[in-house]
Amino acid sequence: MEANAAKVIEATRGTIRSLFRGTELSIRLRLIASSVLIVLLMVGADAVGEWQYWQIEAVAQRVRWTDRISDAVVLHFDILLQG
């Protein structure tokens, strides 16, 4: 059983190493590609953050609206009780 596990680890290790040992791509192209990927991921994260902000802002607007309505109702009852 341990021999099979060792064979799997060796086979996987060789496959993973070959993925990162690209001889046809120079280091310059790999650095450019990784930089572009980082920038794209940052833009995507900013888009998600902005979407979440607008989701929260919509909920906050509804809460402000209901708060104004409840303030008006309380003020109305307060005037009725005093008058």
Does the structure show a pLDDT above 80 at 15? no
Please, what is the average pLDDT of the chain? Answer: 84
pLDDT for 71 beyond 80: yes
> Which residue reads 């192209």 in tokens?
29
- pLDDT tens readout for residues 25-35: 788 999 999 99
Domain that holds residue 23: 2-82
> What CA–CA distances, in Å, run from 62 to 28, 52, 58, 67, 71?
52, 16, 7, 9, 14
Segment 50-70, tens digit of pLDDT: 999 999 999 999 999 999 999
Specify the number of domains making up the chain: 1
22: left (phi over 0), alpha (psi -120 to 50) or beta: beta
The residues, ordered by sequence, that sit 6+ positions from 25 with a Cβ below 8 Å of its Cβ are: 33
pTM exceeding the 0.85 threshold for the entire prediction? no
**Residue 31: what pLDDT?**
94
More confident residue, 3 or 76: 76
